[in-house]
Structure 1
Amino acid sequence: MNRTDSEASTDALLRAIADSQRRYVLRELADASASEVTVDALAEVLLDGPTSRSSDRRSRREIAIQLRHVHLPRLEDVGLCRYHEDRDVVEYCPDEFVESLLDLLERRASPEPVTED
């Protein structure tokens, strides 16, 4: 059975957003007031954000390196952002389907409110 380009594209997209840090980066880019965000600003957000772990002792510099060499290329490969290396900024490429998926995943991850009868 041959895989279609559409199936391969969907699989690549799902792999790209499977990582919690990449999902957080996408949400930050989508919510940013500016059209571009610096890699250092994204690194700072990841350092202090919900995807950071208390046992994780990475520096902002290490996170920025990981963004440049791992996370941003993955997101760029599936068309969700553009990394402008010359200015070290990231531009978000809006995608309604991905934003719907991110919303769904955020709702699923949020604890359900406790109701009293």
Structure 2
Amino acid sequence: MDKIILKRMQFYGYHGLLPEENTLGQRFYVDADLHLSLKKAGESDAMEDSVHYGEVYEKIKDIVEKKSFHLIEALAEAIADELFISFELLEACTIHVTKPDPPIPGYYESVAVEIYRERTK
């Protein structure tokens, strides 16, 4: 399957279990792999035969920056749901959400979740 890849989109959001996460907010990174056939778009050179990645970015930005979730799992699910609603050519997607600075003790680079969803017919 072909795919369109959006890597390391950075947003500021208010997601987490702790009250300070919902008050102060923090950075989040999102990667999205959009699975669809790109053959027709490659042959036609027409935008209507593909998914406009600028519009994908804006949809993801709205979810990350304007909504609040306790879990990044729920954030990833909301992103996948919105992409399927908005882009009928999309057959499947992989959404990777990274929280680089979670308020937990220890030494690590980040925490993240990754989900893979297919369009249900």
Please classify the TM superposition score into its range, dividing by the shorter chain length: 0.3 to 0.5
Structure with the larger strand share: 2
Normalised TM-score (structure 1):
0.32
In the superposition, the TM-score normalised over structure 2's length comes to 0.32
